[in-house]
Amino acid sequence: MEIEGSDVSRAEEIKNQANEAFKAHRYGQAIDLYTQAIELNSQNAVYWANRSLAHTKLEEYGSAIQDATKAIEGYYRRGAAYLAMGKFKEALKDFQQVKRICPNDPDATKKLKECEKAVMKLKFEEAISVPESERRSVADSIDYRTIKVEPQYLGAKIEGDVVTLDFVKKMMDDFKNQKCLHKRYAFQIVLQMREMLQALPSLVDINVPDGSLLTVCGDVHGQFYDLINIFELNGLPSEENPYLFNGDFVDRGSFSVEDLLPISMIYIILV
């Protein structure tokens, strides 16, 4: 039931009067005033909780339990709504009240821990946050040309800024033999790919001429040897042998980077 704004305001005024009566140990008067506030706004759990405490002071335990039950229901409903809306700080306050009134309720304990965890995450994010005007991509601070390649490195190399198919084949062979790519070349691939993708629209139309074949490749999820097997079965991607990857190149498997770099390099060569 929707409550008029004037009733909400009046209920708060009466609640404040009841609080003053409670502080003065006029518990009967406090109960009468809390009752008036509840009649105006029965959805405010604070009124029920306060009246429950006043009943307790008068040793009217049956009434105190009834009001405490109403308070728990109110706090719980509102806390659950705040939680669903992602308002974790507000939800935390409500479930703290539920826990205070009903300390042994397992569901309230679970919800309280969930809120505490979410609020801690928010505080951490606020602590490390950077103003929008000062935000800068890590990629903007990397200059791969200044990274030296040690003489003892014998893996695949990119000569200058030009990526060749021979480099890609050498890199995949190194990965198959559990060898690593030098970080200079890994940075170069990622930065060049980033620059190319930023220039593209989010949706790209692909035309497949009549009589041509298009290999649609599902999620490889870091399974490098599955990717290599696909290339061995269908051939490497080229203008005459196009591939469409669904995405999900990384995670789950143990070779996420090994999946991503060859696919990126082939794309750079073809484009």
What is the predicted pLDDT for the residue at 270?
63
Does residue 235 sit in the same domain as residue 205?
A: yes
222 with 251: CB under 8 angstroms?
Answer: yes
Does residue 46 sit in the same domain as residue 147?
A: no
pTM of the model: 0.48
Does residue 171 sit in the same domain as residue 260?
A: yes
Residue 208 lies in a domain: yes
Q: Quick one: which of 67, 40, 43 has its CA closest to 53?
A: 67
Does residue 208 sit in the same domain as residue 161?
A: yes
Share in percent of the chain as helix, strand, coil (round to 5): 65, 0, 35
> pLDDT tens digits, residue range 168-207?
888 888 888 888 889 998 888 888 888 888 888 888 787 8
Give 220's contacts (C-beta < 8 A, 6+ positions apart): 226, 227, 230, 245, 248, 249, 253, 259
Domains held by the chain: number:
2
Does residue 106 sit in the same domain as residue 201?
A: no
What is the predicted pLDDT for the residue at 3?
61
What is the predicted pLDDT for the residue at 36?
93
Which CATH number fits the domain that encloses residue 42?
Answer: 1.25.40.10
Retrieve residue 118's tokens: 């979410």
- How far apart (Å, rounded) are the C-alpha atoms in residues 235 and 42? 71
63 with 55: CB under 8 angstroms?
Answer: yes
- How far apart (Å, rounded) are the C-alpha atoms in residues 261 and 181? 10
Residue 133 lies in a domain: no
What is the predicted pLDDT for the residue at 162?
78
Retrieve residue 156's tokens: 């695949």
Between β-strands 215-217 and 243-245, what pairing exists: parallel, antiparallel or unpaired?
A: parallel
Residue 82 lies in a domain: yes
- How far apart (Å, rounded) are the C-alpha atoms in residues 166 and 172? 10
Range of the domain at 153: 139-270
Does residue 73 sit in the same domain as residue 102?
A: yes
Q: Which of 128, 150, 168 is the last residue of a domain?
A: 128
Does residue 108 sit in the same domain as residue 80?
A: yes
Does residue 112 sit in the same domain as residue 145?
A: no
Q: Which of 96, 128, 160 is the last residue of a domain?
A: 128
Does residue 107 sit in the same domain as residue 28?
A: yes
Residues in the chain, overall count: 271
Residue 181 lies in a domain: yes
Q: Which of 128, 148, 163 is the last residue of a domain?
A: 128
Residue 134 lies in a domain: no
What is the predicted pLDDT for the residue at 271?
55
Does residue 162 sit in the same domain as residue 185?
A: yes
Residues of the chain with pLDDT under 70: 1-4, 133-134, 268-271
Which CATH number fits the domain that encloses residue 225?
Answer: 3.60.21.10
Q: Where are the alpha helices (DSSP H) in 103-223?
A: 106-128, 165-176, 183-198
Residue 94 lies in a domain: yes
What is the predicted pLDDT for the residue at 2?
53
Does residue 102 sit in the same domain as residue 54?
A: yes
224 with 255: CB under 8 angstroms?
Answer: yes
Residue 229 lies in a domain: yes
What is the predicted pLDDT for the residue at 180?
87
**244 pairs with which residues across the strands?**
216
**245 pairs with which residues across the strands?**
217
Does residue 121 sit in the same domain as residue 15?
A: yes
Q: Which letter, b or e, does each residue of 146-168 get, where b requires 16 or more Cβ atoms within 10 Å of its Cβ? A: eeeeeeeeebbebeeeebeeebb
